[in-house]
Structure 1
Amino acid sequence: MKSRKSLFIVIFMFGVVQAFAQSQSMKLWYKQPAQKWTDALPIGNGRIGGMIYGGVTEDHIQYNEQTLWTGGPRDYTRKGAVKYLEPIRKLLSESKQAEAEALAQQHFMGMKSNELSYAADSVKWVSMMLSMYGPQDEMMRDDSWKTITLPTEQGWEAQPGFEGVDGAVWFIKHFNIPAGWKGKTLVISLGRIRDIDRTWLNGDYIGTTSGNGYRKYIIPADKLFVGDNKLAVQVINFYDKGGFTSNTKTLSVYPEGDETDAISLAGQWKYFIQDDNPPAYPRYNADYQPFADLYLKFPKQEITGYKRDLDLTNATAHVSYKADGVTYAREYFSSAPDQVMAVHLTADKPGKITLKALLNSLHKNYVTRKVDDHTLALSLKVKDGVLRGVSYLHVQSIGGKVAVSPKNISVKGANEATFYLTAATNFKNYHDVSGNPEAICKKQIAAIVHQSYAGIKAAHISDYKKYFDTFSVDLGKGENADLPTDERILKFVQSPDPSFISLYMQYGRYLLISSSRPGSGPANLQGLWNNLLTPPWGSKFTTNINLEMNYWPAEVLNLSACSQPFFSIVDDLAKTGHETALENYGAPGWVLHHNTDLWRGTAPVNASNHGIWVSGAAWLCHQLWEHYLYTGDKDFLQKRAYPEMKGAAEFFVHFLVKDPKTGYLISTPSNSPEHGGLVAGPTMDHQIIRDLFKNCIEAAKTLNIDKAFADALKLKYSQIAPNKIGKHGQLQEWLDDKDDTTDTHRHVSHMWGVYPGTDITVKTPELMKAAEQSMKYRGDEGTGWSIAWKVNIWARMHQGDHAYLMLTKLLSPADVSSGKEKGGVYHNLFDAHPPFQIDGNFGGAAGLAEMLLQSQGDAIELLPALPRALPQGNIKGICARGGFVLDFEWQNGRLKNLQVYSKLGKICRLNYAGRTVDIETQKGKSYRFDADLKQL
């Protein structure tokens, strides 16, 4: 009995140790607070996201609410655009690309916001700005002006004091002319300025330039003074990146003809914001917005033992340190069950929690106010938009005193304190903004007032774990496993760190759980997290790969439920896309071009050379079909997926036209995403359309409906222009054989048929060889998401070592010593495009799965692209099409054991090392196999 008890204790302790080791290995951690946003740690509940800096005397939590965007409900389609469809097609067929693009830009693109009223309003506003001041006016005395460091290469909006600024700004710079330049004609180079400058020297007007080009002004010798000179520049910026936006070398003054003898004008300038309220600039799409910032201000202390971490196993973040013999700790999480963000502060001695908490926002239109003796509120309105936001910050303390003013919450001498933050907007759906954010926040805080922190935390963790704990991966431990995360990133390429790869894979799952929950909206270009009023690419939904890539890991990594928000946006887009199909193409069904936003615009946007891309709806439908293949959910297929797939297919039945040169059906006008301009017949379109038709045919058969429609699709399918091998042995990107072997463009769109599609497989060896040749020409470099796509492509090609090479590039440091960012990861493991885009995180996680298991064919392939760098590991909970969940282990690069759980009771075909076995399965049962696939 005693020995049994001892054995039980040993087993129990082993389990505890194992659980502790798993928890430790699944942490991002650091020895210092975040210095910048891409150092901060993300938390999220699908709707409310926070970025935690973890400062000691001032902690900063920048937060977002998923529905806060610019703009409002509107019609994105341009009425009558269909009249220009055939003329555009005709120009393309005559190889008149420039003319086709010009015609399309004028008549075929979607409508911008404020498009009809802007011209008159803008002329009036600019005229007022130009006439209001001159450098000779009293207002132009710069003694009391603020300073800014110029140039700002990424635009002034990232500089303190310039957040969200559009409008008119004056800049003044004093510089000295040496005596040796007396009598010389000089050149003042201001680099690129956005959008208009008017420039004076010593009170004399010297010129103006419009647009985003470079400015150089010739200054006659008699206009200069030896000694002090005063340069004044009025910059008028209408939207987005304003100010001096080139590099420091271009900002200088020098004698004409001798740039080597230059005086730099880079550095401190004085500035004055003349007017930051120009007319709302016409926009094709809306921008995702930051909500506000929570600051916690503490007494200054000398500290030791600082640590900051994010625990992926339970979705909690922490900060701890010691000061004056006291250990302080903070815990943070964003709860989905209670729809609040929590910050819990403790000390190991009583009465030591003292701080002030305050809210502010980058939005110009915001106020804070006292709600009650424990609650502070912030209200805001988005500039040039219809959305309003409200946030409540509620505090509960044990011991001490709490005081709430209209500006902040003060806590003095508490034993512990917990802040609960919630946020909401008046958005209800893409055509209804009648929500009441005040009532929502009030209700959410009222619901947690009588709960304990321990109870709220337990509910959060339990809810999170039902997603996260469905999957685990262990690739072994490397020599750097115990180092802080930022140090591991720097050392990853030089020394093996397989557990870092496990961490990265699980971090991708964490980010998806945190940014895409049932009942919330889908993950955008930055998931849930954004700190800028003018974020990169609007932080919207880019549908020519990026939105789709966000959901690549969902099914295979056992997060199928996190796809629900994706299905919801497809539901909306199928409706708005129907109008675009009619107005632009005179077609039934629905169509989606390369970008959309909160308001679900589907029209072509931006520029005609890349905005007229017609395959967005079809690509989204691929994910609907994938969900059915993984889950076997026939109700989902019948009521939701198939009607939308059919609608997308109906559009293409109408849209495809016969190419007069080849006789094939082709897609025109369109483009190979963001590459090569407006064309007829890009390869990617045809691959995606074939995939859509094939899946519709199979779905109709499964549901026993629409036989006539399926037969029509079969006929069309056989007539679509096929994949073609070009003169360089490459897979052609376009209908014409015009690929450039020196072209290293980031998009590899014609590889869609390899991944995520199945147009090109190991069963089409000639095409696969051509695809490989194209990948070699395109090269291994790229931006973050591009590298992630290449991981998946090389894995589909069963080239594990090349896929792993791409993975090492994906995990390289984006912050480098030169100060220039590159593709890779930031300190918080966010993917760098650069700047941050979350699709690389999701694509990278999917790529790792693709190395270990593939099920797109007629069998489940085990370890199809296992790299030599990962000779051992085990994985549990990885999913395969057909409704199978697999656990397996490998050692020395060889399968060791396997367990298959059948959710649907289908026949399971397994393939490993040239051996294929079929087993009949029963729903809800598991099956075990040895290394030779012999059933145990």
Structure 2
Amino acid sequence: MKSTINKTALLLIIILFVACSTTDKTVKEQPLKIWFEQSTKKWNEGLPIGNGSLGAMVYGTSAKEVICLNEETIWTGEKRYDRDNKKAGPEVIKKIQQMVFDGKYVEAEEFLTTNLLAKRFPTGTMTNQMLADLFVERQGFDSVANFRRELDLNTAVQTTQFEKDGISYTRECFSSFPGKAMVIKYSADKKGAISLSASIKRNKNTNIELTNNSIHFSEHVGNGMGVKFNSTIHFETKGGKTEAKNGKIVVSDANELVIRIVGASDYRGGNPKQICADNLKNALADDYKELLSEHVTDYRSLFKRLNFTISDGDGEDLPTDKRLQKVKDGAVDNYLTQVQYQFGRYLLISSSRPGTMPANLQGIWVNGFKPPWNSDYHININIQMNYWMAEMTNLAECHEPFLKFIGSLREMGRITARETYGCGGFVAHHTSDAWLATAAFGRARYGMWPMGAAWCCQHLYTHYEYTEDKEYLSEHAYPIMKEAAQFFVDFMIPHPKTGMLVTSPSVSPENNFMTAEGEVATVSYGCTMDRAIILELYRNCIKSAEILGIEDAFIDTLKSQVTKIPPLQIGSDGRLMEWMEEFEEPYPGHRHISHLYALHPSNQISKERTPELFDAAKKTIEYRLANGGGHTGWSRAWIINFWARLLEAEKAHENIIALQQKSTLPNLLDVHPPFQIDGNFGVVSGITEMLMQSHDGKINLLPALPSAWPNGSIKGLRARGGFEVDIEWENEKLKLATIRATTSGKFRIYSNGALSKVISLKKGESMNWKDN
């Protein structure tokens, strides 16, 4: 995919900006730190660092530190073209459809489980594994004073400090994107005070070689069915000495120790051993200060594009875990919310950069060899939620890995479309992995869901909406969207009674309904989410064709089919219906709220255009919450976005607090449970939508500002249409908004819920707006 910006020029501009801003003594940067007064032996209470591909969770004690290393491409398995169930095909699909239309929902599920769904193993997804655990041990350091560990979000540097016998010790750790290496520095305020040993542990199949200053290790993972990787951990001291002894690197009486870590696999081809050697050579060419400066400048070129303030405090008065505990006990902490917001942006920068794989269920932070859900790509909401915030929070480059991933699904997705359904185009189901799995597998309630690729395609058009890059739309986005739409042109069939086009078989992700006979079922036809996703995909294809000047029979077909897809329906109780029929729900508080897709992340439901559906959506979310919904971190994050779209400021804020109270670890990582990173990303998009929304050709300022944030500002947001927006407010009212145009265009500006003015700006122009 062609980049939408001249990255070299942009980086130079930002470096100059950062350099100037850091020398301006009148500007005080607000501290943004996650910090603790004690160590932890728990991986999920560690502090994560990453450069998009090479990451670590840093935890442990002063006596035995653990640095759980990750490299994004450490995956079991290989690309396989036999994942689809060989029994499947057009005749099987027809038989299932007939059962569904006859109301034999349970029978249809049983039949498709055997004849359409592949077994989870070995044809399901493969597993992302950690690289290794690096152990750093110090004798006699069980008891220390003034311990502090922190992650500085302004610099992406993790630091641990403590005192022992009157000596102050410091360890700094970061993972550099330009340096292609992780760097760790141990220092003290007394010469000759650094003595420690270091070793790595992976498994019995790992080849480990030690020299006097390095640990080299390699493996063919997955017992020979996976990638081959190499990694080197290099130790450089000032003063003292290093030696290999008893399977460890032993450092004695050093003034300073700098560790450089590199890792690579053959996932993308090439020789991983040579790649590691080249990256290490480059990392050794710079000293620690140069590596740190290069890392901080690169990171800040992304992170400092956006500033968010709803608190005058700097957070230095109370450790993060104690702040969070106060919230769990009933307090409201705006500084914690600021940090949580920027932590989400930090995590995306650290786990998704141009040229890397997209962030998975755990970003790039994996513990062990069998992480939850294989740490793969769940594309029935989770990976999408990871990237909702990318464009709006000014991190478009971090979106790129996902946008490329969507296109890469086509090779396998064409096979699944043809062999499982007898359709053209391409399709992907609920889960994928490094090998681009697209098959339907597992159980019907999650596996029988051919909407994954179509939902992903929303992100392709969203990127265009923010950039208005026609070349990107023509060369990358539209061809993928068109191919995804082709599948549904072939797959949807007329309902035998109404003649309307429906998907069949169809499920509402991971949810069930009760049949008239009192049985629990999951397979039906034309579920609400299916219709909303397909309508959006078709309309985005049609809009793209208009923008690109394309007129052909395919677009005519899409325009015709749009008129034949059943509209969203409201049930007898006033709620949006989840299925075509008004089924009883056995799990009324279900974590998936898929039938509200049209509200968010799509924008098919709005107060202005569809007031009845808007009210029905509100009743739907109220009902879910009243019955225990939002009990997982990612689900609660989605609910924040729903309430923002429903313009319910206080309810959105209540759910931010609920996320902090119920689904947030002491280090602010999200828990499903267990740890799952989508909630960290979803809360960022939710907060952003509370402060600005930019769909429907309008920029809506402060649409859901809660009373808990009476004063504040957010600067550097991105809006659809190619605009950058700064907002300041006082006493819950807009004080000033500045809008800058990166492309020429016009928009409607809304403030305090009312249309204020229609604005036109040429590229490079800006305007200030104040409410009268």
Q: Is TM > 0.5 for Structure 1 vs Structure 2? A: yes
Q: Tell me the equivalent position of 2:318.
A: 483
CA distance in 2, matches of 1:830, 1:706: 48
State which of 325, 328, 335 in structure 1 corresponds to 2:169.
Answer: 328
CA 864–775 in structure 1, closer or farther in 2 if over 3 Å, else same: same
Q: Distance in 1 between matches of 2:301 and 2:479?
A: 31
Show the counterpart of 1:716: 561
Matches of 2:459 and 2:657 in 1, distance apart? 27
Matched, 1:68 2:70: no
Structure 1 residue 111, shift from structure 2 partner? 5.9
Distance change (3 Å), C-alpha of 1:532 and 1:95: farther
Q: Which position in structure 1 is the counterpart of 2:278?
A: 443
The aligned residue for residue 50 of structure 2 is 44
Specify the code of the residue in structure 1 equivalent to 2:265: T
- For 1:538 and 1:713, how far apart are their aligned partners in 2? 37
1:797 aligns with 2:643: no
Q: Give the whole-Å Cα distance in 1 for the aligned partners of 2:665 and 2:452.
A: 30
Say yes or no: does 1:623 pair with 2:459.
yes
Q: Give the alignment of 1:448-847 within 5 angstroms.
A: 448-477=283-312, 482-493=317-328, 494-676=330-512, 677-740=522-585, 743-762=588-607, 763-779=609-625, 780-812=629-661, 823-847=662-686
- The aligned residue for residue 126 of structure 2 is 286
Distance in 1, matches of 2:586 and 2:757, equals 42
My pick for the range that moved more, 328-337 or 75-84, is: 75-84
Q: Deviations over 1:648-707 (max 9, x none)?
A: 111111111111233211111121000121211100000000000111100000000134
* Partner SS state of residue 286, structure 2: coil
Correspondence 1:91 to 2:99: yes
Q: Distance in 2 between matches of 1:479 and 1:522?
A: 33
SS at match of 1:552: helix
1:353 aligns with 2:361: no
- What is the one-letter code of the residue matched to 1:568? K
C-alpha contact (below 8 Å) 1:54/1:308 kept by paired residues: no
> Could you give the per-residue CA deviations for residues 190-246 of structure 1, whole angstroms, max 9, x where no partner exists?
xxxxxxxxxxxxxxxxxxxxxxxxxxxxxxxxxxxxxxxxxxxxxxxxxxxxxxxxx
**Is the 1:477–1:498 contact (alpha carbons within 8 Å) kept by the matching residues of 2?**
no
Q: Amino acid of the residue matched to residue 790 of structure 1? A: I
Counterpart contact for 1:285–1:597, Cα < 8 Å: yes
**Residue 307 in 1 paired to residue 153 in 2?**
no
SS at match of 1:832: coil
Conserved in 1, the CA contact under 8 Å of 2:735 and 2:771? yes
Q: Which amino acid aligns with 2:616?
A: A
1:57 aligns with 2:63: yes
Out of 218, 230, 236, the residue aligned to residue 390 of structure 1 is 230
CA distance in 1: counterparts of 2:21 and 2:689, whole angstroms = 35
Secondary structure at the aligned position of 2:642 is classed as: helix
AA at the equivalent of 1:78: N
CA deviations on 1:389-414 (whole Å, 9 max, x unpaired) are 22101011111111135722111111
1:305, 1:348 → 2: CA distance? 15
Alpha-carbon shift at residue 445 of structure 1 (Å):
1.1
CA separation of 1:912 and 1:412: change in aligned 2, threshold 3 A: same
CA distance in 2 between partners of 1:834 and 1:111 (Å)? 25
How many residues align? The count is 734
> Separation in 1 of the partners of 2:647 and 2:56?
39
Q: Is 1:865 matched with 2:700?
A: no
Larger Rg: 1
Counterparts in 2 of 1:587 and 1:422: CA distance versus 1, 3 Å: same
Q: Which residue number in structure 2 is paired with residue 6 of structure 1? A: none
Q: Are residues 479 and 646 of structure 1, via their aligned partners in 2, closer, same or farther at CA, if it must alter by over 3 Å? A: closer
**Alpha-carbon separation, structure 2, partners of 1:807 and 1:478:** 19
Question: Does the aligned pair in 2 maintain the 1:295–1:359 contact within 8 Å?
Answer: yes
Q: Which has the higher strand share?
A: 1
What is the identity, as a one-letter code, of the residue corresponding to 2:84? Answer: T
Give the % identical residues: 39
Distance 1:537 1:706 in 2: 44
- Residues 350 and 414 in structure 1, CA contact (< 8 A), matched pair in contact too: yes
Give the 3-state SS of the residue equivalent to 2:463 in structure 1: helix
* TM-aligned CA distance change 1:851 to 1:606, over 3 Å: same
Gap runs ≥5 in structure 2: 1-19, 513-521
Say if 1:719 and 1:481 are closer, same or farther in 2 by CA, change over 3 A: farther
After superposition, the Cα gap between the structure-2 partners of 1:54 and 1:711, relative to the gap in structure 1 and judged at 3 Å, is same
Letter in 1 for 2:621: M
Taking structure 1 as reference, are residues 49 and 734 closer, same or farther at Cα in structure 2, changes over 3 Å only?
same
Q: Write the distance in 2 (CA, Å) between the matches of 1:111 and 1:322.
A: 55
Contact 2:84–2:123 (CA<8 Å) still a contact in 1? no
Decide which of 89, 100, 113 is 2:108's aligned counterpart: 100
Shift of 1:766: 0.5
Structure 2: distance between partners of 1:670 and 1:291: 39
Per-residue deviation, 1:12: 10
Contact 1:477 1:497 (C-alpha < 8 Å) held by counterparts:
no
Where 2:560 maps in the other structure, the secondary structure is helix
Any stretches of 5+ residues in structure 1 without a counterpart? Answer: 1-10, 114-281, 429-433, 813-822
The worse-fitting range, judged by mean Cα deviation, of 739-748 and 895-904 is 739-748
**Cα deviation digits, residues 776-807 of structure 1 (max 9, x gap):** 11115320000000000010000011111111
Distance 2:742 2:589 in 1: 43
CA distance in 2, matches of 1:919, 1:767: 29
Q: Pick from 729, 732, 739: which aligns with 1:893? A: 732
- Cα RMSD after superposing both structures: 1.8
Q: Against the structure 1 CA distance between its residues 750 and 582, is the aligned structure 2 distance closer, same or farther, given a 3 Å change threshold?
A: same
2:765 aligned with 1:925, yes or no?
yes
8 A Cα contact 1:741 1:778, kept in partner: no
Structure 2 residue matching 1:719: 3-state secondary structure: coil
Q: CA deviation at 1:14?
A: 11
* 1:115-166 deviation digits (Å, cap 9, x = unpaired): xxxxxxxxxxxxxxxxxxxxxxxxxxxxxxxxxxxxxxxxxxxxxxxxxxxx
Q: Which residue of structure 2 aligns with residue 110 of structure 1?
A: 118
Aligned-pair CA distance for 1:463: 1.1
Q: Does the 8 Å contact 1:297/1:355 carry over to 2? A: yes
Q: Is 1:368–1:406's contact at 8 Å kept on the other side of the alignment?
A: no
> What is the distance in 2 between the residues matched to 1:742 and 1:647?
35
Q: CA deviation at 1:458?
A: 0.9
Determine the C-alpha separation between the residues in 2 that align with 1:801 and 1:368. 56
For each residue in 1:740-799, what CA deviation from the matched residue of structure 2 results, as whole angstroms up to 9, or x when unmatched? Answer: 397100000000000001121112011111111111111153200000000000100000
**Is residue 344 from structure 1 mapped to residue 185 from structure 2 by the alignment?**
yes
SS in 1 for 2:356: coil
| Secondary structure at the counterpart of residue 523 of structure 2 | strand
Q: Distance in 2 between matches of 1:80 and 1:103?
A: 11
1:700-721 deviation line (CA, Å, top 9, x unaligned): 0000013432222111001101
Change (3 A) 1:14 1:284: closer
Amino acid at match of 2:532: Q
CA contact (8 A) 1:312 1:507 kept: yes
Residues 592-628 of structure 1 show CA distances to partners (whole Å, capped at 9, x for unaligned) of 1000011111010111232110111111110100000
Q: Which residue of 2 aligns with 1:168?
A: none
Structure-2 separation of matches of 1:543 and 1:656: 21
